[in-house]
Each structure stands twice: as C-alpha cells, then as structure tokens.
Structure 1
C-alpha cells in the first residue's frame, strides 16, 4: 500500500522521527510510514524550535536531515516543512527531490507578535505548494495553528477548509485533543483530518480517535522530548549524586548493533 492509499479509509498512526536512528527504531516496530518532527530535528542539533526567535534551523539543513531519514528507511516518510520557509514552492520542490512521500505546510509564522499568516496569504502559499508538487504523488497537508495561539474552533475550521479547497489533501489542526473538539472537526471539515497526540498526554487512544473519524495521528516532537527527559535525568543523577541507576534499564549494545547493522537495510 502506498502512502496516499493509507489515507483512503480507517485511521493510522504516523510517528515522528528526528534522525536515522530514531526512524529505524520506529520502522522496526512495524509502522507502515513515518513523519519527521522539525522540533526534534532542531533539538538534536542543539537548536530551539522555530517559534523561539533566533537560531532557527535553516531550510538546507532541515532538508538534508529529512533526506537522510528517507534514505535510511524503507517506508514512506512525510516531512514537517514548517511554514515552507521564505519560498514555499522551492521548499516543496526540494522535499520532493529528497524523496519524501508528503509533507505539511503550516500557517504559523514563528513570530509571536503576528503568529499566523493572513488567511489569503496562507491560502496562496498552499496553492503554491500544490503547484510545486506538480505531477508527483506528494501528499500535501494543510496545517493551521489557530488553536495553539488561542484562536477559536470556528476559525480553525474556516482555515482548514480553505487549505483543503486550495489543494491540500489532508487538514492538520494541532491543539485539538479532546473528543468534542475532534468530533466537531471531523464533521465540519471537507477532507481527512490529522491530529497530533502527545503534546500534553491526553486520554484518547488510537481506537478512540478511529471511532471519532480521525484519518491519521502523529505525535510531533513528543517522543524526542520524552527521550530528552531521560537524558536530563541521567545528567542530573551523575552531576548531583555520582550514581548510575539511570543505566539499569538501558537497551543492550548488541540489540542496537543488530538494529542498526547496515546489512539489515
């Protein structure tokens, strides 16, 4: 089954990787496709995510890492392309050349004083992304961050539907995490819905989301953040106590060697 076909019915989980190692672990778990996380990639480079001002990971670096992930696994990869950077069409062209199966373009500017692109501009950017994909099977996701910046559900619906009308194949509304909000989006949107779980935990399971009518589920940077939690805890234990209990539950070296052996890929 190709990447586009995964979206035709039912609900599937698309976990987010940030480097080749994390991608191979997720692939080995049996997922039919993966996504990338721009936040996780930024953290792995010692950088902040792009909504925290200076130091944003540049497009060339981001595309290079995405390309490494694509080349390192045998399943389709959907790329987190943030807001498409300064030139959406060029960004999509670069992503297609890197071999991705799809990707999302968001309406979040990274500027807290003006957090969202005006709707007309954001819609034009989605049109440009669709046109840049050309005749490729690139699966375009239109993401609106309205709920994350304190906007209303009505505005989220309006923006998501505008992006779908402009050519997006799927809508993505981060911040929708409860059954009532997600159910409203499923009913009101004119296309399939992606939701992200793991931002704040949440009680809904994949089966719950499937029953609500969600088409696909991502987890953003939550796996990366969970691993960094363990890293911070280990660093503090070493620095403050000089003990090594953090290592009690580590993965054996032999297991990781077997997983990452190039002969298996």
Structure 2
C-alpha cells in the first residue's frame, strides 16, 4: 500500500485521527514514535526554524523541508504549501506535482494569497482547487488534496461563504475540506453536516479546550495542529529566557526531558 493509500485509509476509517504537524526531523520522529499515524508540515512552524515570519517560505524551501520530513518517518506526510505557492491554477497544479515528487502523501491549498490579509475571489479559488485536483488525479499513485477556506480564520468572510466555498471545492475534486477556526463548535458541526467530504479541524486557540472525543462526536474526520505545538515549544523558550535574563532564574530549565528518553524516541524504528 502506498503512503497515499495509507493516508486515504485514515480518512475513511472515521473517528477524528490526529494529523500531527512537525517542524523538523527531530519533532517528526518524536511524534511518529509516540503514535502519530500521519505527519504534516506547517508553513508557520517551518518559517520559525528559518528565522522568517509565516508567509515568506518559498516553494523550493517548502519542498526541501517536506522531503526531509518524508525521509525521516515511516508514516504518510502531508505538505503545507499555503496558497499552492501560486496565484494561478496552473502554478497551483505544478506545486501539486512537485509535492508528489518529493514523496508527500497529500497537500493542503488555501484560498488566501501570500500576505494573509485578503482572499482570492470565489471563481479563482475554485479554479485553483480544480486544477490541483486534476493534477492529483493524474499522478500514478494516490494523493490527498485538502482544500482550505482560510478566509473564515482571518475574518474575510463568514460561515455562509465558507460553506459555499467548501462545497464548491468538494465539487471541484478536493478530498478533504478545512475551514480553520470557525467561530463555534456549532459552526464546525454545520460544516461537517453540510458537506460530503472528510472535514479537518484545527486544534488551536479555543478549540484546544475540546477533546478528541468532542470532535469525533460531531463527525470531524481529521485533527491537525497547525503551528500550535511549535508555538508551545516557543512559549517554553520564551518563558525560560525571560526568567533567566530578567531575574537570573534558571528553574524552568529543570523541567526538560531526560536526554535518554529523547534519544530513544528519535531512534525508534
């Protein structure tokens, strides 16, 4: 079974599986060793490792990073390529083909251009997903296309428009649908009820207070972390550094994991 087939099977089994977002080889290996059935890259978390803000990673950088993660683990890996690294349907399709060539089992494509403060018009957003789906279906192996309605997260449109876009993305050939951080769990449940493809939910912000069972109960198929885990790691760095540099307090450093445990996870087959 190919990685693409394994990834699709996770979407078919039901029960809100966790798509764990990693940001480097070490985090990917740790997550896989601890039970992640699939790994995803995160554009924001990857950008942090490069000392860059989110939305500035190039396609070549994202592809090289994805290839490293694919080689590091024995589970399916999805790539976060933001807007498909292109404002055109043709460029988005080319990104899908390149993502598959580095061994990814799937890709997610947003309807937000680089910069993140606006959205593509409806027709262009749908055309980009249609081109991406055609490219995915032309591949010699299975490949999962996730279409994202990110405008709801940045306040560019409401749940009604998000649903209109997601339904159109599904009709255009998307395999999985994703509207990050709708206002309420009721809105998320509405997305599940009013679409006919697996739905991904982002576990971040207020949604981090929900349990996996809560998401499964409303029919969510997949839970991704985005940059949440990377941001939690950066919180640890921030708080420890603030204690050290502001108060000469090194107590936060005593909470670190035993190195032998980390070593064992990094080398687990």
Q: Could you state the TM-score of these two structures normalised by the residue count of structure 2? A: 0.91
Structure 1 runs, 4 residues or longer, greater than 6 Å off: none
Structure 2 match to 1:222? 228
Q: Is the 8 A contact 1:199 1:220 kept in 2?
A: no
Residue aligned with 1:83, SS: coil
Unaligned runs of 5+ in 2: none
- Note the alpha carbon deviations across 1:228-248, whole angstroms, 9 max, x for none: 000011111221122211211
The residue number in structure 2 matching 1:119 is: 122
Structure 2 match to 1:70? 70
CA RMSD of aligned residues (A): 1.5
Give 1:252 deviation, angstroms: 1.5
SS at match of 1:15: strand
Partner of 1:169: 175
Give yes or no for contact 1:178–1:204 (8 Å, CA) kept in 2: no
**Any conservation in 1 of the 2:33–2:266 contact (CA below 8 Å)?**
no
| Other-structure match for 1:53 | none
Do the aligned residues in 2 keep the contact of 1:199 with 1:219 (CA within 8 Å)? Answer: no
Q: 2:40 aligns with which of 35, 47, 52?
A: 35
Q: 2:204 aligns with which of 198, 202, 210?
A: 198
Do the aligned residues in 2 keep the contact of 1:169 with 1:192 (CA within 8 Å)?
Answer: yes
Matched, 1:138 2:136: no
Q: Secondary structure at the match of 1:2?
A: helix
Checking the alignment, whether the CA contact within 8 Å between 2:189 and 2:219 is kept in structure 1 is yes
How many residue pairs are counted as aligned between the two chains?
257
Q: Report what 2:242 is aligned to.
A: 236
Partner of 2:109: 105
Q: TM-score, normalised by structure 1?
A: 0.92
2:8 to 4, 12, 17: 4
